[in-house]
């Protein structure tokens, strides 16, 4: 339609001035909708529908203290614990306020040297000289908070942990086997073991106490 | 191993296709009605859905003083886009600079420094979402929600508006106007992006993506409380926040700006293989659905399938390659530390695992990487910097193809249509047919605008990289030595110059040069592709449709699909192969060395 007899378009300055009010009004209106109503509504809805998950999948012990999050790895270095992957987060390992990876290049000498050192330390720790080392135990994760290791990496550590805790190898091995999470529907992702959950299970085995439960701790208002 | 990886890839692609097919009819409805004047040749439909939309949008538009809707010329539309971007930029800058004075800043974070604030504002307004800051420690929940989440919506919506203008150009005859930006903007935001984000956000929250008013919780380490852990601090602060709501639109709007520094590899952004699937689907869904909707808009679904096929031709080979590269052992590591087991078995993740998460494994990480760089999302679930040299090459190349293989929401398909016009023109010259696309003659003015769309991103990328290389102090921002260091520089400007936003994350891009140069690259590439596309829409809308003749080149045939894909590859290859040869290709050719054999 709008053919030659349409009115001449307004001047450029008029066009600009005419658009200022809608630009500002709509920015304010859409900011209110997508920046206030949406996040607040989503938080309320998520809290009502998925209280544990939306609060951070927190694990709470018998005494009511938060032991950690099921999804966020923690550093373990002692012989009595299963160890997770090396972490490149910030200045301290597994620091959730400074998540991130090493960003070392695949061919860099710094990378291969670092991995060689880790492999050497691991071999001493686990007193295995012949066994090959699972690559996940000597490479840093992307987030620095990876809560998982591969089943092989967990099984490699069974002997050391059992010896340090005075348990039978088979007992610890069963504990690991029971905690292997399969790939989703057998297709998506990889089979894995949650290190924090495994160590908490070890602790409860030790003390005869109960496993920490997922809690709604994060839902309480901060004191 | 290869079978489990291929099953995984097939499952994700199938899920994506189904989701896109489900969204396409709704996307068609969003743009087909309402804003189009009655006397043009665009088909009109008015169903109950469109009445619902009208009910949602009319109060907002009335408040803005643009109801009843008045159609705009292409010039007005472009001005509206510019003004809206400027206003968004200003608001975001204000929020970041005044952070300590504003509410909901429980950790009392200071104002974001000027350079970072400018870079971040440019980054989020342009749908790039390059992150020169660490989310956990720089931004208050208010800045994240009111600043970043809002721009995630609005920049994605602007992209779809530009696509709508281009499509209106193709379907209207002799029209002086191309729709109303305000109407399109509101409709896409409230009618499409918001409902999809609500659904996706709740799905993600059900899996463990946090969504909380709390900002964090201090916990004593399990080992630290029951045995000596040395001198290291024995507590950690678990950072929480309104994450799920932001991640949903981050993926759906191909934005890519995460809540946390580690982006989609952080367990609170992407906790399980299922959320990983959902996030990949969300990235690809709207760009794919746009192709299908395109066919419906122009009244010939085969045209949409053809464009989707061109994207698939450019996408699938690289999916296969990158999954192959990342699931293979790292030969440099194997040579230096032979005792490490990099083979994959059901009990063990193999392949290149540095910078990847165990729950995803290398195959899912590679798939996410190629999807996030093919679309202009730029979120990551693994650190691209640590990918194998050729895996890194694939991610870089997907970005450098101009973000038209799926690409950004709206802008990706619009960019591919610009490539299509060039392909039509070139084919027309070669075989002596008059260049036409969907009944519109393609002439000099459209070609000029199309060439701007094609050439600005490579120019910005290459000039920026060259500048960084010539300034030794700035080139030193790349932490890795040799060719990999060059790759880090090239990736940064490719990402900013094509509005992707992912990074070879080792780069410390916080200096004045890097923040400002990348901000300029992001703004130039975004605006100088969007505005020419609006211009093409305006030029085409004014033309009459010419009847199909025996001389018309059919634009839905496999031959034409290959012609379009070939044009994209040709422009991408001619622009970037020399640079890629200096970076990832040179790196891949380095011989693996045993430990102690020599250091660089």
Asked whether the beta carbons of residue A143 and residue B186 sit closer than 8 angstroms, the reply is: no
Asked whether the beta carbons of residue B245 and residue A12 sit closer than 8 angstroms, the reply is: no
Q: What are phi and psi of B183, to 5 degrees?
A: -65, -50
CA-based nearest distance A170→chain B, Å: 18
Q: Would you kindly state where each structural domain of chain B is located, as residue ranges?
A: 410-588
pTM: 0.93
Residue B8 pLDDT greater than 70, yes or no? yes
Q: Which of A114-118, A194-198, B35-39 is least confident?
A: B35-39
Distance of CA B177 to the CA centre of its chain: 29
Integer Rg of chain A from CA: 26
Region A45-64 average pLDDT? 90
Asked whether the beta carbons of residue B202 and residue A132 sit closer than 8 angstroms, the reply is: no
The pLDDT value given to residue A208? 66
The pLDDT value given to residue A2? 45
User: Could you give the CA distance from residue A42 to residue B545 in angstroms, rounded to a whole number?
Assistant: 47
Task: Tell me the per-residue pLDDT of B237-254, one tens digit each, with 9 for 90 and over.
Answer: 999 999 999 999 999 999
The 3-state DSSP class for residue B68 equals coil
CA-based nearest distance B568→chain A, Å: 29
The pLDDT value given to residue B38? 39
CA-based nearest distance A212→chain B, Å: 11
Query: Over pLDDT 90: what percentage of chain B?
Result: 72
- Which residues are CB-neighbours of B33 under 8 A, at least 6 positions away? B44, B45, B46, B50
The question of ipTM being above 0.95 is answered as no
Q: Which residues of A touch B273 (CB under 8 A)?
A: 183-184, 188-190
The pLDDT value given to residue A220? 40
Residue B553 pLDDT level (bands cut at 50, 70, 90): confident
CB B546 within 8 A of CB B436: yes
Q: Which residues of A touch B202 (CB under 8 A)?
A: 42, 45-46, 49-50
How crowded is residue B110: how many other Cβ atoms within 10 Å of its Cβ? 10
Region A120-134 average pLDDT? 82
On the question of a cis peptide bond just before residue A190, with omega within 30 degrees of 0, the verdict is: no
E strands present in B177-245: 216-220, 235-239
Task: Tell me the per-residue pLDDT of B412-457, one tens digit each, with 9 for 90 and over.
Answer: 999 999 999 999 999 988 888 889 999 999 999 999 999 999 999 9
Residue A185 pLDDT greater than 90, yes or no? no
Residue A8 pLDDT level (bands cut at 50, 70, 90): low
Q: Which residue would you say has higher pLDDT here, A6 or B515? A: B515
User: Could you give the CA distance from residue A147 to residue A69 in angstroms, rounded to a whole number?
Assistant: 9
Asked whether the beta carbons of residue B350 and residue A135 sit closer than 8 angstroms, the reply is: yes
The pLDDT value given to residue B49? 77
Residue B227 pLDDT level (bands cut at 50, 70, 90): very low
Region A20-32 average pLDDT? 94
User: Could you give the CA distance from residue B571 to residue B563 in angstroms, rounded to a whole number?
Assistant: 12
């Amino acid at each position: 339609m709008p053919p030659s007899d349409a009115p001449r378009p307004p001047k450029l300055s008029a066009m600009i001035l005419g658009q200022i009010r809608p630009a500002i009004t709509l920015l304010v209106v859409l900011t209110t909708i997508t920046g206030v109503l949406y996040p607040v509504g989503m938080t309320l809805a998520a809290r009502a529908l998925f209280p544990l998950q939306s609060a951070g999948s927190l694990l709470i012990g018998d005494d009511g203290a938060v032991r950690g999050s099921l999804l966020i790895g923690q550093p373990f270095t002692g012989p009595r614990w299963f160890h997770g992957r090396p972490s490149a987060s910030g200045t301290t390992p597994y620091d959730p306020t400074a998540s991130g990876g090493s960003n070392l290049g695949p061919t860099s000498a710094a990378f291969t040297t670092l991995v060689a050192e880790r492999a050497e330390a691991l071999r001493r720790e686990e007193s295995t000289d012949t066994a090959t080392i699972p690559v996940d135990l000597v490479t840093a994760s992307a987030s620095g908070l990876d809560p998982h290791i591969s089943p092989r990496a967990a099984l490699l550590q069974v002997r050391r942990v059992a010896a340090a805790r005075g348990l039978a190898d088979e007992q610890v091995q069963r504990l690991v086997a029971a905690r292997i999470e399969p790939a989703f529907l057998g297709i998506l992702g990889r089979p894995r073991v949650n290190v924090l959950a495994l160590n908490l299970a070890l602790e409860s085995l030790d003390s005869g106490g109960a496993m920490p439960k997922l809690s709604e701790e994060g839902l309480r208002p901060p004191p | 191993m290869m079978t489990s990886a291929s099953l995984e890839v097939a499952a994700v692609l199938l899920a994506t296709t189904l989701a896109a097919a489900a969204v396409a009819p709704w996307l068609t409805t969003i743009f087909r009605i309402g804003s189009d004047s009655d006397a043009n040749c665009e088909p009109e439909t008015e169903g109950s859905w469109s009445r619902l939309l009208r009910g949602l949008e009319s109060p907002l538009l009335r408040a803005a003083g643009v109801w009843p809707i008045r159609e705009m010329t292409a010039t007005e539309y472009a001005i509206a886009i510019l003004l809206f971007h400027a206003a968004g930029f200003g608001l975001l800058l204000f929020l970041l600079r005044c952070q300590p004075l504003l509410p909901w800043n429980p950790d009392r974070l200071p104002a974001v420094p000027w350079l970072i604030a400018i870079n971040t504002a440019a980054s989020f307004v342009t749908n790039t979402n390059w992150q020169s800051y660490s989310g956990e420690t720089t931004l208050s929940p208010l800045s994240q929600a009111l600043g970043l989440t809002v721009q995630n919506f609005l920049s994605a919506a602007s992209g779809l508006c530009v696509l709508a203008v281009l499509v209106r150009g193709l379907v209207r005859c002799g029209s002086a106007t191309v729709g109303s930006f305000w109407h399109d903007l509101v409709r896409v935001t409230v009618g499409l992006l918001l409902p999809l984000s609500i659904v996706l956000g709740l799905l993600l929250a059900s899996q463990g993506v946090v969504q909380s008013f709390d900002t964090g919780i201090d916990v004593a380490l399990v080992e630290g409380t029951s045995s000596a852990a040395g001198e290291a601090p024995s507590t950690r602060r678990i950072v929480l926040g309104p994450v799920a709501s932001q991640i949903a639109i981050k993926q759906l709007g191909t934005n890519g700006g995460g809540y946390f520094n580690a982006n989609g590899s952080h367990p609170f952004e992407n906790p399980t293989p299922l959320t990983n699937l959902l996030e990949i689907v969300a990235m690809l869904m709207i760009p794919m659905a746009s192709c299908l909707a395109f066919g419906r808009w122009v009244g010939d679904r085969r045209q949409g399938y053809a464009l989707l096929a061109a994207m698939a031709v450019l996408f699938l080979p690289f999916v296969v390659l990158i999954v192959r590269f990342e699931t293979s052992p790292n030969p440099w590591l194997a040579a230096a530390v032979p005792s490490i087991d990099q083979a994959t078995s059901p009990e063990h993740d193999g392949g290149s695992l540095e910078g990847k998460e165990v729950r995803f494994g290398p195959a899912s990480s590679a798939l996410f990487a190629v999807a996030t760089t093919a679309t202009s999302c730029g979120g990551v679930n693994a650190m691209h910097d640590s990918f194998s040299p050729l895996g890194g090459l694939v991610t870089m190349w997907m970005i450098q193809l101009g973000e038209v293989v799926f690409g950004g929401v709206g802008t990706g398909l619009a960019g591919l249509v610009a490539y299509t016009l060039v392909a039509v023109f070139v084919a027309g010259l070669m075989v002596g047919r008059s260049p036409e696309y969907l009944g519109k003659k393609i002439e000099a003015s459209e070609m000029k605008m199309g060439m701007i769309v094609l050439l600005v991103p490579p120019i910005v990328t290459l000039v920026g990289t060259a500048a960084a290389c010539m300034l030794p102090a700035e080139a030193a921002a790349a932490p890795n030595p040799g060719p990999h260091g060059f790759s880090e520089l090239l990736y940064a400007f490719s990402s900013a110059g094509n509005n992707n936003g992912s990074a070879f994350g080792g780069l410390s891009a916080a200096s004045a040069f890097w923040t400002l140069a990348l901000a300029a690259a992001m703004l130039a590439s975004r605006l100088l592709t969007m505005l020419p596309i609006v211009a093409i829409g305006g030029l085409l809308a004014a033309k009459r449709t010419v009847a199909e003749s025996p001389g018309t080149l059919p634009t839905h045939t496999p031959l034409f699909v290959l012609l379009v894909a070939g044009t994209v590859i040709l422009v991408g290859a001619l622009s970037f192969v020399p640079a890629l040869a200096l970076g990832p290709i040179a790196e891949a050719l380095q011989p693996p060395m045993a430990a102690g054999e020599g250091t660089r």
